[in-house]
Structure 1
Amino acid sequence: MTQTTPVVTYRELTAADHAAVIELGNIVHGDNYLTEENLADYVKRGEKEGINLNWLAFVNGQLAGIRLTFAPGQWDIDDYCTPAAWPVPAEQMCYFKCAAVADISRGLGIGRGLLERSIAAAKQLGCRAGLAHIWMQSPNNSAYSYFTKCGGEMIAEHPDRWYELSIHGGYHCPVCDGICHCTAGEMILRFE
């Protein structure tokens, strides 16, 4: 039996992709992490001046990975942010909102490929860095390992980052089995 090499392709997210993106995001991050309403908002935040920072990866034509990234000036600085510790001003940073790679496609470099495409788009908008809240309780701590290998630097840790979303937004954390007490690692990735 001949084994075929997986063919990985990338393209920008479009409206036709929403249902598949929601499905994959929720498989990886938990029920109601992505909904039609919040994905519509995220897509708007990821587009600026005709540039789309939201990317998808496909393996042999099947959706295998997503990267949702907010453009500079289109994301909120909240209580889980530490701007005084950031190496560049917020107006020169994008926000890495969400990444998800299907289990079957792990190890193909999809996460890095998606990140590189979002960074290239963000640089067109003058970004010099990106901020992310990394899920520190991800299975096998894969989110932190991945983002660190890509050059991410820890700024601060924030307990209960997704608590409010689990209480009021219907998010079901797969690690906490419901009400989320997971910690977010506030991390910066410099582009220079």
Structure 2
Amino acid sequence: MPETTPRLHFRPMTAADFAAVIVLANKVHGDNYLTESSLSDYFTRGLQQGRNLHWLGFADNQLVGLRLTFAPGNWDIDSFCTPSSWPVSTEQMCYFKCAAIDQDYQGLGIGKSLLQHSVVEASGLGCQAGLAHIWRQSPNNSAFAYFSRCGGELIQDHPDRWYQASVEDGYFCPVCDGICHCIAAEMVLPFKRINLG
């Protein structure tokens, strides 16, 4: 954490931010977690009806946090999803694709602020909850603890969530030292239960 409290501000992501977003996401999650091609695809998935669900956090004008969120209907329900256990319909569910906070700026509330901005935009599209696949192998399982504190509810654990990305797309898992066998916690965050305090 910086010695002096930085000035924080937040804004929606634009295409002009792609290069910096890729650097930050790959620094936090591992090489090739995001690429120009994947981010371009993800970006369009977060835009709907004039709303932008992707948000960025800055400390003294340096990008230090990001939240990528897909609008309802703009994400795939795959074998790592359990829609029969979700509290709302798929039409009322956004997808929290990823978040990344520079480790030097964690603990300042950046993640919560980014989540709140995305929830506000998703609510404007009629969403009542968001789904996420939370990285169980994050340091001290901190991602799971954070999302739980925000009101996230565990649906099911899924082994090898990012295995295909590590084998076919060049993703290098920093925990598995290459081929990824990490577990994803499928979690739902009902907006009526959200706790950002």
> TM-score range with shorter-chain normalisation?
over 0.9
| Cα offsets for 1:125-170 (capped at 9, x unmatched) | 0000000000000112111011011110000000000000000010
TM-score, normalized by length of structure 2? 0.95
Task: State the one-letter code of the partner of 2:160.
Answer: D
Supply the distance in 2 between the matched residues of 1:12 and 1:32 (Cα, whole angstroms).
Answer: 23
- Indicate whether 1:48 and 2:84 are aligned: no
Q: CA RMSD in A?
A: 0.7
Task: State the one-letter code of the partner of 2:190.
Answer: R
Where structure 2 has 5 or more consecutive residues not aligned to the other structure, the ranges are: 193-197
- 2:143 maps to which residue? 143
Greater mean alpha carbon deviation, residues 61-70 or residues 137-146: 137-146
Supply the distance in 2 between the matched residues of 1:140 and 1:50 (Cα, whole angstroms).
Answer: 38
Where structure 1 has 5 or more consecutive residues not aligned to the other structure, the ranges are: none
Aligned 1:30-179 pairs, distance under 5 A: 30-179=30-179
Greater mean alpha carbon deviation, residues 139-148 or residues 50-59: 139-148
Task: State the one-letter code of the partner of 1:32.
Answer: N
| Cα offsets for 1:76-120 (capped at 9, x unmatched) | 000000000000001100000010000111000000000000000
Supply the distance in 2 between the matched residues of 1:44 and 1:139 (Cα, whole angstroms).
Answer: 30
TM-score, normalized by length of structure 1? 0.98
Supply the distance in 2 between the matched residues of 1:142 and 1:30 (Cα, whole angstroms).
Answer: 17
- 2:20 maps to which residue? 20
Supply the distance in 2 between the matched residues of 1:139 and 1:5 (Cα, whole angstroms).
Answer: 24
CA shift for structure 1 position 5: 2.5
Greater mean alpha carbon deviation, residues 134-143 or residues 122-131: 134-143
Supply the distance in 1 between the matched residues of 2:42 and 2:79 (Cα, whole angstroms).
Answer: 19
| Cα offsets for 1:32-70 (capped at 9, x unmatched) | 000000000000000001100000000011001000000
Supply the distance in 2 between the matched residues of 1:17 and 1:139 (Cα, whole angstroms).
Answer: 27
Corresponding residue SS for 1:144: helix
CA shift for structure 1 position 4: 3.6
Supply the distance in 2 between the matched residues of 1:131 and 1:150 (Cα, whole angstroms).
Answer: 13
